[in-house]
Structure 1
Amino acid sequence: MKKFLLQNKRPIYGGLLTMLFVGIGIFSLGNLSGYEARNLLESSIPGINMLCNTVILGSATILALLLTVIGISAGLDAKLKDSFYFGIINVARFDTILFITAIVLFQMFNIPIVESENVPTNWYVTIYWLTLACSSFLSGFMVVVILMLYNTVGRVIRVAGLNQETSDIILDDADSEEE
């Protein structure tokens, strides 16, 4: 786990920074009454649903792009290190978690809570803050996955496109002897 965190330090920082930035913007609204929260919830749910749809589409596309990256890396003359393929697995794992989370949240946000007469007014404040926290989380998590994919694609481009033979993903003779 420590190795994973060290290898993906910048994407994780980028995602946390995005989540923090969105969160600060959201929480700068201040305290709300139940009635205000209900009205804001009515107007924000379509945007949050659109965010979920965008994340679902984006994460499905990223999974398809990972197959392309694997195809390109398989066609290289150089043999690649296992760490490169474990990196692709990590991107796929995070992307799949993001995909599933976005689908579940999309379903949750489609529950017609605002139309319900049985929900106490003071619950709307909690529901409103929870939906905004979820959208902040989705935004940050999407940034993490995109930055991880960027790092992976950049590594392939350096080897396949720029013919850099001294890359951290190419298996050389010293590495072959260790295995």
Structure 2
Amino acid sequence: MKISGKIRRPLWGGLIASAIIGVGIYYLGNLSQYEARELLGKSIPGFNMLCNTVVLASATILALLLTVLGISSTSKSHLSQTHYHQVALLAKWDTIIFIAAITLFQFSNIPITEAENFPKDWYNLLYWATLISSSLLCGGTVAVILMLYNTVTNMIDIVGLGVKDHRLVENESLDEE
């Protein structure tokens, strides 16, 4: 499936957001196992809140997509298959982000910092994994929000403003032939 420019831009936006967060994480430098354990213990509540927020946002976006499909099907304009492919792609990315967030939330609720027999040299790895996964989660969420923005502005143009020569409106003269 070819990704159009309207979809490519949100994906780049998500990638840039992840990169900016990743650069900030990189500048933290190397940590000892003790520092990693302490920072992990302090960052997990924020990570849990991030995961909860992303899960809530993703579920809300999926519900909004059902509304978009309802509006699309009752619109006077005949929308092209490209519109429906973009909505399907948005739903797919949103579902991936939803599953990732809920899975990461579940893993972050394991009380690793309280475990006595957890290998101490793993705290550093776990701390970095938490930071990297949070930056990817943020970038993915930014990409989904930007895709949703494109979908909403397209719907406003087509349904609300009645733009007939929009790239997502099928040419009615072709349908009549």
Do they fold alike, i.e. is TM over 0.5?
yes
Change (3 A) 1:28 1:153: same
Change (3 A) 1:175 1:9: farther
1:26-175 → structure 2 map (5 Å cutoff): 26-173=25-172, 175=174
Please give the root-mean-square deviation of Cα atoms over the aligned residues, in Å. Answer: 1.4
How big is each residue's C-alpha offset from its partner over 1:31-86, in whole Å with a ceiling of 9 and x where there is no partner? Answer: 10000000000000000000000000000000011011111112211111011011
> Which piece of structure 1 moves more, 9-18 or 66-75?
66-75
| Contact 2:65/2:87, CA 8 A, preserved across alignment | yes
Question: How many pairs does the alignment contain?
Answer: 177
CA distance in structure 2 between the aligned counterparts of 1:175 and 1:140, rounded to whole angstroms: 40
Specify the code of the residue in structure 2 equivalent to 1:162: L
CA distance in structure 1 between the aligned counterparts of 2:43 and 2:3, rounded to whole angstroms: 36
CA distance in structure 1 between the aligned counterparts of 2:174 and 2:23, rounded to whole angstroms: 46
Residue 163 of structure 1: CA displacement?
Answer: 1.2
CA distance in structure 2 between the aligned counterparts of 1:20 and 1:7, rounded to whole angstroms: 21
CA distance in structure 2 between the aligned counterparts of 1:117 and 1:64, rounded to whole angstroms: 43
Q: Which runs of 4+ in 1 moved over 2 A?
A: 173-178
Q: Give the percent of matched residue pairs that are identical in Structure 1 and Structure 2.
A: 53
Name the counterpart of 2:21. Answer: 22
CA distance in structure 2 between the aligned counterparts of 1:36 and 1:175, rounded to whole angstroms: 66
Q: Which stretches in structure 2 are left out of the alignment for 5+ residues? A: none
Change (3 A) 1:55 1:169: same
Specify the code of the residue in structure 2 equivalent to 1:166: D
CA distance in structure 2 between the aligned counterparts of 1:175 and 1:48, rounded to whole angstroms: 52
Specify the code of the residue in structure 2 equivalent to 1:24: V
What SS class does the counterpart of residue 25 from structure 1 fall into? helix
Residue 119 of structure 1: CA displacement?
Answer: 1.5
Change (3 A) 1:135 1:120: same
Q: Which stretches in structure 1 are left out of the alignment for 5+ residues? A: none
Residue 5 of structure 1: CA displacement?
Answer: 5.4
How big is each residue's C-alpha offset from its partner over 1:4-24, in whole Å with a ceiling of 9 and x where there is no partner? Answer: 254411101100000001111
Residue 162 of structure 1: CA displacement?
Answer: 1.2
What SS class does the counterpart of residue 79 from structure 1 fall into? coil
Residue 159 of structure 1: CA displacement?
Answer: 0.8
